[in-house]
Chains A and B, each alone.
Chain A
């Protein structure tokens, strides 16, 4: 009988362990602590035999897992542990010698006790300063693999020291999948985007269920890991349960290689939005190529497009005769201009634009309205009308033909003017909702509004995808244009967390609402609730499977 394991709580003690604790208390654990020793690699094992190696008292075997009885200190191997418990009454709980982990012979399973872990971890911490610490799975590499440049090696050493201060087996009440990302040198743009990607429900489920096979990927490309492989590595690391900050060096390097062709790679701070698009592009390049090389992006089946790609519709109407030409363009995100109608003046002298008189608040819905408002094309942009057979004044209207599973909204805060040779950041606060209904921005709504209530057939069956979204991540930018800092806020199970590089903290809603959002990520309501246990307003059906589609049960 394995102990029932809820996702975010410590497993309950098995009956035998509970009985043992009632009888013995913590004295057994404490005396064990004197026999513990930590190897240079960070493993804490039991070392109490100076003259000979530990052997099973039944078969004299010395191989495999050996267990030390907490009551009588006799040693049994995995084949005979049960025998020991059966032959001595009450000797059910033993400790794995090599791993310092509790095992119950009668349950034939590992058991967990926070008090025991405390004892082991404190010994581990005490021994740490004497050992040269090797960082965990995430960055352990052989020398031939270490191709990153010396600049990043320096940061590795810094992050090693930071990691050694932390408790590796911290029992935290934070949900699975929350892990800080070390800043490798102005890489907060990357960290912030990664945190959002790590929690985009369908994207996360894809990688956590192992759908990107690193093995076959490696074989196809002569042993080099593609960008998606490196993302997969990050998923494994972040959802592993280890809370120590992780250094996403491989993704950075892999992205450098990908973006070198686009001349994006450099040591400077990059734009988070550009990085976001670039990463999705890199994943598409690898995944898409294998399967659908000729299809356009709208129907591409790679995970990047399946999750993030939507379809925009652009209607250009001739003002003379009223005929409209429609084009469709796939998009990975929607870039929104901030609505300036509420603000009276713009301070050009300074590098930032601040509202002089706040006659209204800039809201996300205002920006979306602006996005889908009919826009008169300038006289220098007259389009050729097929009906009139000449160039005419026209107006253009954007709408969303198909919503993606994850809607990424990019707020255009950075204005670059090539003509005036200057760039500035718009610091206005943008009010954004946590629940978003995109119905009024769908092509069906927009077109109907323009032409009145008529029955139109729309090519893409919009009834299939819901238009209701829930927010799950916000990337904020603070500071000046050149020297700013990106931070991501994540909403997991109705609690907001601030992910500031390596530091994760709980924050309240008000903080998030007051932040200066740069990119906002919404997931379709059903997907968001499925991923987050549906605690709030969605009714739980009695037949609901408690085993959610996230594979991290370790």
Chain B
């Protein structure tokens, strides 16, 4: 049995409905509704391609597929394998730029 089939028990959805929406959620909702999130995602994609991050991830995927064999790999496997390395290897300047843009957006959205 593969890992993707066995999942940890899920938290009961009913519990969460009662809670107040977290600050993070509100920001996220605002970003999506105004379409800003889509623009930020595009910018992020562009930056990650430029700095070679995407190619690195591609190489990781290829190496994993080569090891496991072409017919034994699912998309879920790949996501699981490259996510930790991917998150860790994002250059700081990209994080800084995105944070800056989100801040700027919130400032003008709060007005």
Contact = CB atoms under 8 A, between A and B. Distances in A.
Interface of A: 2, 4-5, 39, 41, 52-53, 57-60, 62-63, 78-80, 82-83, 103, 107-110, 137, 140-142, 145, 210, 214-215, 218, 236, 547, 551, 553
Given A82-B7, A140-B46, A60 B65 contact: no
Nearest to A109: B74
A255 B27 CA distance: 47
B4 A2 contact: no
17 contacts: A2-B73, A53-B29, A53-B32, A59-B11, A60-B16, A62-B28, A82-B4, A103-B75, A108-B2, A108-B75, A108-B76, A109-B74, A137-B49, A210-B62, A214-B52, A547-B70, A553-B70
B76 A109 contact: yes
Interface in B52-103: 52, 55-56, 59, 62, 65, 70-76, 79
B110 interface: no
B10 interface: yes
Instruction: Specify the main secondary structure of chain B where it touches its partner.
Output: helix
B57 to A, nearest CB: 12
A41 B28 contact: no
Interface string B7-19: 1001101001100
A78 B49 contact: no
A107 B46 contact: no
Interface of B: 2, 4-5, 7, 10-11, 13, 16-17, 25, 28-29, 32-33, 38, 42, 46-47, 49-50, 52, 55-56, 59, 62, 65, 70-76, 79
Contacts of B56: 215
B46 to A, nearest CB: 6
Instruction: Specify the main secondary structure of chain A where it touches its partner.
Output: loop
A53 B27 CA distance: 12
B13 A107 contact: no
Contacts of B62: 210, 551, 553
Contact of A2 (B7, B13, B32, B72): B72
A110 to B, nearest CB: 5
Nearest to B8: A79
B29 A59 contact: no
B74 A107 contact: yes
Contacts of B17: 60
Contacts of A110: 74-75
Given A2-B72, A4-B71, A78-B76, 19 more contacts: A2-B73, A5-B71, A53-B32, A58-B13, A59-B16, A60-B16, A60-B17, A62-B25, A79-B10, A107-B74, A108-B4, A108-B5, A108-B76, A109-B74, A137-B49, A145-B50, A215-B56, A218-B52, A553-B65
Contacts of B65: 553
A59 B72 contact: no
B50 A2 contact: no
Contacts of B33: 53
Contacts of A79: 7, 10
B72 to A, nearest CB: 7
Nearest to A39: B38
A57 B13 CA distance: 8
B61 to A, nearest CB: 9
A215 B52 CA distance: 7
A371 B23 CA distance: 79
Contact of B75 (A4, A62, A109, A553): A109
A41 B13 CA distance: 35
Contacts of B38: 39, 41
Contacts of A108: 2, 4-5, 74-76
Contacts of A109: 74-76
A218 B51 CA distance: 10
Nearest to B69: A547
A52 B42 CA distance: 22
Contact of A83 (B10, B32, B70, B79): B10
B71 A2 contact: yes
Contacts of A82: 4-5, 7
Contacts of A142: 46-47, 50
A140 B10 contact: no
A58 B10 contact: yes
Nearest to A110: B75
B82 to A, nearest CB: 14
A31 to B, nearest CB: 24
Contacts of A141: 50
Contact of A53 (B10, B28, B46): B28
A550 B14 CA distance: 50
A5 B10 contact: no
A437 B73 CA distance: 43
A60 B13 contact: yes
Contacts of A210: 59, 62
B50 A80 contact: no
A53 B75 CA distance: 25
B7 to A, nearest CB: 6
A218 B53 CA distance: 13
Contacts of A215: 52, 56
A83 B7 contact: yes
A303 B93 CA distance: 34
Contacts of B75: 103, 108-110
B42 to A, nearest CB: 5
Contacts of B32: 53
A218 B71 CA distance: 35
Nearest to B43: A142
Nearest to A232: B55
B10 A59 contact: yes
Nearest to B35: A39
A63 B31 CA distance: 13
A107 B59 CA distance: 24
